[in-house]
């Protein structure tokens, strides 16, 4: 089952010729979550041949323009295409106020419902959950309220070894209990321990998105053991002072966070347009955390255990 | 002196992988006029290496999103770059209302003045003029109020043939009168006719922008003898019914307008995303008006007599 991330934009406030502002599509088991929506996101979605109709959950980390200016165009395109699905937007509550005049102005009116879910900037909070996937928001620290997001598969129950079902004649009614951790008592009174009957389920895969933030060691416990961590790296240590002044992170700090969180892999992005290439970001980060890669627009990354 | 048009976007409501929504930069004698500003315009401006600081007059034909959704991002970028020039926006008056919440929200506040100039949808009107360039708006007809724009050089005065200044000993005080059309009386009383003394100035060059409109023969008198006419051609005759229903023009109608206006050249654009290539638009238009070209994103066209 797919769990993969497509980078639509990896630039910071100023887009460049080859990097759009922040936007990503995360496909978790067939659910297409849009994370941030900088200007041009709809163009990038089209280029990636991702069906617009698959997107109904949009996560906006904060209200700086490079993270949401593409939203009105995307919603307008949904409307023009005649899409009717409810659209859920998880964002700072003020977004609704900012977009309202333009939403009201849409030709022929809006043909679908938009449900705004205000983010909690005080503490971590589950903001989405279905049977297989859950999403957590958690506060980051920047010059305006901002949240990171943790997307993870729901922990599956263990599987029962098929040969034992037959051998011990386990009734169907007992399967649920064993999956939930119970031992099994056979007809002859023998106790078969749960550990013998079951196969541990695969570890749930997870992806964390941390953009526009100072280095914040305390979030490492929230994203502990995440398979892929995206962390902003607007600057390198060379411009540390700029990073501090603008409340952004350096590549070294992003790597430090990946190390603290024991991430499987680190993707860095949100690069300042001041830098001509991203190799110096990668070098700086890899000195601290080897499995680092600079995000590239249009590239898809598998989220693997 | 330059007079040239760079196409930043030539798609209609839905951008495609290789066509952005409507936006153009017109360089008239070093003045950079931005005409419409669909989503992604700032990215295209950057790709064309046009300095953001050169743009201070922005013309928005109408308030469908594909013609103005890039504006907030562009203004935000002006702000981030620390630009301080006044920005003049010629648009439907409602634009201000639509953008205001987002303008108010800009980080650190807006560092420059925006002066909104409401368009007149009742009759043609001069909306910009300096010593060398003037701009006229004129109503078009679409599903919402819309204007076209005519950009033209101001008619220069004739030049006086240098050899006659010496030969007839024309005093400097007389030069102005002769340029304005007066004959010259020599010291001996001989009348030298103005036509003998002067060289007619070059015909002023002009460019007309007509987007999102039904075929409107009555505007041909306003744009008569224009050097380059850009006219929307959202559909071909094959989808004439769609064109009529959505109040757009076909390629044939755009060509008919160029013929009526005796244009020097026709550029067509605003192509519906339904079409895979633009050759059928060109073929259809060229049957009526030979000097037709399909606008292409990133291409620059000289406005020549």
Inter-CA distances, B48 with B24, B245, B254, Å: 11, 36, 27
Tell me, what's the ipTM? Answer: 0.89
Domains of chain A, first to last: 3-156+202-302 (3.60.15.10), 159-198 (no CATH)
Which residue in B14, B46, B105 is closest to A15 by CB distance? Answer: B46
Mean pLDDT of all residues in chain B? Answer: 95
Residues of chain B contacting A80 with CB distance shorter than 8 Å: 13-14
What pLDDT band is residue B242 in, cutting at 50, 70 and 90? Answer: very high
**Contacts of A290 by beta carbon, 8 Å cutoff, 6+ apart:** none
Task: Report how far residue A154's alpha carbon sits from residue A156's, in angstroms, rounded to the nearest whole number.
Answer: 6
What does the pLDDT average to over B15-36? 94
Residues in chain A within 8 Å Cβ distance of B52 = none
- Looking at residue B235, the DSSP 8-state letter turns out to be B
Summarize the confidence of residues A268-289 as an average pLDDT. 95
What residues of chain B have any CB closer than 8 angstroms to a CB in chain A? 13-17, 20, 39-40, 42-43, 46-47, 63-65, 69-70, 72-73, 76-77, 80-81, 94, 97-98, 100-102, 105-107, 143-144
Q: Using an 8 Å Cβ cutoff, are B111 and B77 in contact?
A: no
| Rounded Cα–Cα distance for residues B144 and B125 (Å) | 19
| Residue B111, pLDDT above cutoff 80 | yes
Residues in chain B: 305
Closest CA to A77 of B100, B273, B103: B273
Alpha-carbon distance of B201 to B155, in angstroms, equals 8
CA-angle at A31, arms to A26 and A35, nearest 5°:
35
| pLDDT tens by residue, B172-225 | 888 989 998 899 998 888 999 999 999 989 999 999 999 999 999 999 999 999
Contacts of residue A222, defined as CB under 8 A and 6 or more positions apart, other chains included, come to: A124, A136, A138, A150
Q: Number of Cβ pairs closer than 8 Å across A and B?
A: 77
pTM of the model: 0.92
At B40-54, the pLDDT tens digits run 999 999 999 999 999
Helix (H, G, I), strand (E, B) or coil at B116: strand
Indicate the pLDDT class of residue A108, thresholds 50, 70 and 90.
Answer: low
């Amino acid at each position: 089952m797919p769990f993969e991330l497509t980078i639509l934009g990896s630039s910071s406030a100023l887009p460049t010729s080859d990097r759009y502002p922040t936007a990503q599509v995360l496909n978790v088991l067939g659910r297409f979550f849009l994370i941030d929506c900088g200007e041009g996101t709809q163009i990038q979605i089209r280029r990636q041949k991702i069906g617009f109709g698959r997107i109904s959950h949009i996560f906006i980390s904060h209200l700086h323009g490079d993270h949401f200016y593409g939203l009105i165009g995307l919603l307008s395109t949904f409307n023009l295409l005649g899409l009717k699905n409810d659209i859920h937007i998880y964002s700072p509550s003020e977004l609704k106020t900012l977009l309202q005049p333009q939403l009201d102005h849409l030709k022929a009116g809006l043909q679908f419902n938009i449900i705004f879910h205000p983010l909690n900037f005080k503490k971590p909070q589950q903001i989405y959950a279905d049977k297989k996937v859950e999403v957590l928001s958690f506060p980051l620290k920047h010059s305006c309220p901002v949240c990171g997001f943790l997307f993870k598969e729901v922990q599956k129950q263990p599987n029962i070894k098929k040969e034992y079902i037959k051998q011990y004649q386990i009734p169907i009614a007992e399967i649920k209990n064993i999956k939930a951790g119970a031992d099994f008592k056979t007809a002859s009174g023998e106790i078969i321990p749960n550990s013998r009957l079951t196969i541990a389920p695969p570890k749930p895969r997870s992806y964390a998105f941390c953009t526009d933030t100072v280095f914040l060691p305390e979030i490492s416990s929230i994203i502990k053991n995440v398979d892929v961590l995206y962390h902003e790296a607007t600057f390198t240590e060379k411009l540390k002072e700029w990073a501090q002044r603008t409340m952004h992170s350096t590549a070294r700090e992003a790597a430090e966070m990946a190390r603290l969180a024991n991430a499987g892999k680190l993707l860095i992005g949100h690069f300042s347009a001041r830098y001509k290439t991203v190799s110096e970001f990668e070098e700086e980060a890899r000195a601290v955390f080897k499995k680092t890669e600079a995000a590239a627009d249009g590239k898809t990354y598998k989220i693997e255990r």
